[in-house]
């Protein structure tokens, strides 16, 4: 057989775990990876680097849970332990 047998896994969902201070909705709004997207570890790693650049986190990791053909992307951002414990104003404008 000369045809590719490769199966494209698509994300069933995207979740955020372990957040105490940062709103998961804020991260979801910034995230370019959505349910239904083809699993692309390079794109996920790039998104993790973008999320890590936010001043709210020490590190950001992820895992793929569930069915290998339709996994859920679970983000595991580790919030900075020293803050912020103050009001942060964000106008939602991004370059």
Please write the tens of the pLDDT for every residue from 31-64: 999 999 999 999 999 999 999 998 889 999 999 9
Q: How far is CA 9 from CA 3, 14, 30, 36, 75, in A?
A: 18, 14, 23, 9, 18
pLDDT of residue 55: 85
pTM of the model: 0.76
Q: In whole numbers, what is the pLDDT of the chain averaged over residues?
A: 85
Of 67, 72, 75, 70, the C-alpha closest to 45 is 75
pLDDT of residue 7: 62
- Tokens 């999320």 correspond to 51
Residues 6+ apart with CB under 8 A from 76: 17, 18, 60, 61, 62, 63
- Take residue 69 and report the two structure tokens written for it: 């053909």
Alpha-carbon span 33 to 20, nearest angstrom = 22
pLDDT of residue 26: 92
């Amino acid at each position: 057989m000369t045809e590719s047998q490769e199966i494209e896994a698509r994300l069933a969902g995207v979740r955020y775990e372990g957040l105490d201070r940062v709103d998961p909705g804020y991260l979801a709004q910034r995230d370019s990876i959505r349910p239904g997207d083809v699993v692309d570890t390079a794109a996920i790693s790039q998104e993790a680097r973008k999320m890590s650049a936010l001043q709210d986190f020490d590190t950001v990791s992820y895992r793929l849970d569930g069915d290998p053909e339709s996994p859920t992307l679970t983000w595991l951002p580790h919030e900075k332990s020293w803050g912020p414990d103050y009001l942060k104003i964000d106008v939602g404008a991004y370059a």
